[in-house]
Every structure is written in C-alpha cells, then in structure tokens.
Amino acid sequence: MRLFRTMFLIPALFALVPELAIAADPARLTGTVKTPLILDEATLNKLPVASVEVSYARASGSSKGTYTGVLLWDLLAKAELVNETGTNARLKHTLLVTSRDGYAVTVALGEFDPAYGNKKVLVAYKGSDDIPSFEHLRLLVPGDVHPGRAVRDIASIEVR
C-alpha cells in the first residue's frame, strides 16, 4: 500500500513545483578571429554599452523599441578579426548568426564597419522593458524594414 501511494504522490509533488529555468550555454563568437569569445555577462560587461532604437513593419502593425547591449563591431575588435592580404580584405567577411532553435541569418561586415556602412548592429541583452538577460542575446540591425535579421536567443556568431 505504501509503494502504491508513493507512485501517485511523487508525480503530484512535481506538478506543484514550478519549472526550473535551465541556464543555456552562453553564445560564442568563433571563426576567422584570433580570440574566440564566450558571450557571457563577464565578457559583455567589459565592452562599451550601446543602445539602438529599431522599428519594424509587421502584418499586425509596426513595432518599435530601444535595446541595450554591445555593438557587433566592438565584439569583433575584441576577438581580433583575421584578414587575408589584399585591398579591403575585411570586406570579404560575413557573419553567420544562429539562434538556439536553428534560425540563421548573415550580416556582411561592410554593413557595420565604421569605415563603410557604419550601421550600429547590436547584440542586445536588454529591451525597453526587460530585465537584462545575458543568456538570451538578440541581434538587431537598425534600418531594416522587417525584423527578419532580428535573431532572438543567439547561440553562435561565426565569422567567415
């Protein structure tokens, strides 16, 4: 009888306990860089803080927000981009940004290089009304009309 009760009590007790938030592995910046980076709170807090405002057109209307984080350019500067030889060799690079669910986009380095496109592409850890989350980073590309490159929950950034 005791075993029978235990078999029914244990699942009932787990139903009462809220789900535990399992911390995700930190995102990583890898590829053609001298120093691959783990994009955790310690690394991101060592870089200058930046904020961008983005607005997107959606089928349900437009959305607008201000986000805080670090510029993708500053992350690359810390990781030290490795270039081939030749004129404007750094313009050959693209970055593949992949989310934890497999969604992926590319961004050309020339778009956010201060000497060329100079877009303030942001790896955000905080939205307008959010609590900072260094475990769920987001890529934001100001100037995009649609949010297709606004990658949520970044798992990796690979420099190619």
The answer to whether the pTM exceeds 0.95 is no
The closest of 121, 119, 117, 160 to 140, measured between CA atoms, is 121
CATH topology of domain 23-159: Sulfite Oxidase; Chain A, domain 2 (3.90.420)
pLDDT at 29: 98
pLDDT at 76: 97
Block means of pLDDT (10 residues each) for the chain, 160 residues, are 52 45 81 98 97 86 89 98 91 97 98 97 90 92 93 97
Rounded CA gap, 34 and 75, in Å?
Answer: 12
pLDDT at 57: 80
Rounded CA gap, 149 and 141, in Å?
Answer: 7
pLDDT at 59: 75
